[in-house]
Structure 1
Amino acid sequence: MRKLKIIEFISLDGVIQAPGGRKEDSDYPHGGWTVPHADPAVGEAINAAHGKAFDLLLGRRTYDIWSGYWPKVKDGPMAASLNGATKYVATHRPDSLGWGPAESLGADIVAGVRRVKATDGPDLILWGSSTLTPVLLEHGLADEVLLMVYPVLLGVGKRFFSAGTPPRELALVGTKAAASGVIISTYRPSGPLRTGSYDDPA
């Protein structure tokens, strides 16, 4: 069975919108907020998480943004990996997946992800999508979460863990502070949320 890894650039206040540039979302006022904090350690962490080969799990908006950029990039291992990966897309318009190889997850996203995970192939990488993330966590489909937390407060924007995210606990399995101030942390889902009270007897 394939593993599914969620990778995300995230601000201190949880925003993930348009991290790489203003063109990613022309309506967002702070596009490109990761750029001033570029750091080789971030690239190394991404490469390690991707492994030697991977396929992509993408929401429709992320797919559309990336399909307008990555096919035009002809040089570099990242472009080759992303363009060559099979893209499994949550979409109601499967006939418009021009950046291939690509497949629709189907009408039932949970069933579609389970189907893909059960096939032979490389690990699946999810980038972006505040919509897909809570669904994957709720149904126990995410195996790993890699967060690159940037030392910025954005105030507004789409958040990675949206209001629909189910209560869960994550186990920290690795963390590193980059020279730029970015905190790179890897988590694995570890079960339902536990609660308690400091007033309870030991």
Structure 2
Amino acid sequence: MGLIHIAMFSTLDLVGQAPGGPDEDPEGFPFGGWQAPLIDGATGAQIQAAYEGTDALLLGRRTYDIFASYWPQQDDYFGRLFNRIPKYVASRGKPDLSWAGSEQLGPDLPGAVREIRERHEQVTVVGSLNLVQTLLHEKLFDRLDLWLHPVVLGVGKKVFEDGAVPTNVTLLEPPEASPKGTVHLRYGRAEGTPVTGDMSAPDRGLGDES
């Protein structure tokens, strides 16, 4: 069984909407492109490394349309990767699938995601915030690469909206910070649900001056 790998960009207040450009999301969001001033070489290298092993993309309709209008003309690392591997599109509509290797998923999204997980080693989800929220809610992910950027917007769609289900994750690697202050966190989904405890318990060591 392969991995469902979510690669997500977020602000400190966990807004994930339209990081790439002002026209990425036409819903009146005033900060489209908030990520661009915060990208540096270190973050770029982290993003490229996160795609190692990717042999399929899973995209929401809006992200797919943006990618399909841009990447077929590109011949850099991501252009060559994205043009070569299969692209699966989660959409209730009828997207234009003329980008080579594109396929629309059926109406049973959880079932379709489980099926493509069986076909591939690593299916990477890019952008596609509504799709990401569905995958998080259904616990249909194995790894989450989250880049936290040093900016607070106060408005916009959140990575974890109301309705997120309690989920355990484990940190897979030490966090990495870029010169501009973006922090890369790599998590793996863990079994079970969050547990609670008592911080005043003696074994916590709080207030112990001995």
> Same-fold call, TM > 0.5?
yes
Unpaired runs of 5+ residues, structure 1, are none
Q: Offset of 1:97 from its aligned partner?
A: 1.9
Aligned twin of 2:143: 144
Counterpart position of 1:13: 13
Check conservation: 1:134, 1:164, Cα contact below 8 A.
no
Q: Which residue of 1 aligns with 2:58?
A: 57
Aligned residue type for 1:51: E
User: What residue ranges of structure 2 are gaps of 5+ in the alignment?
Assistant: 204-210
Matches within 5 A, 1:30-179: 30-71=31-72, 73-94=73-94, 96-119=96-119, 121-174=120-173, 175-179=175-179
Deviates more, 1:129-138 or 1:76-85: 129-138
Larger Rg: 2
Q: Which residue of 1 aligns with 2:206?
A: none
- The structure 1 segments of at least 4 consecutive aligned residues displaced by more than 4 Å after TM superposition are 199-202
What is the distance in 1 between the residues matched to 2:18 and 2:69? 14
Q: Tell me the secondary structure at the aligned position of residue 82 of structure 1.
A: helix
Match in the other structure for 1:180: 180
State the secondary structure of the residue aligned to 2:48.
helix
Supply the RMSD in Å over aligned alpha carbons.
1.9
Q: Identity, % of aligned pairs?
A: 38
Secondary structure at 2:98 match in 1: coil
Secondary structure, aligned partner of 1:170:
strand
TM-score (norm 1): 0.90
Partner amino acid for 1:38? I
Aligned residue pairs total 200
Matched with 1:190 is 190
Q: Is the alpha carbon distance of 1:94 and 1:114 closer, same or farther for their aligned partners in structure 2, counting shifts above 3 Å?
A: farther
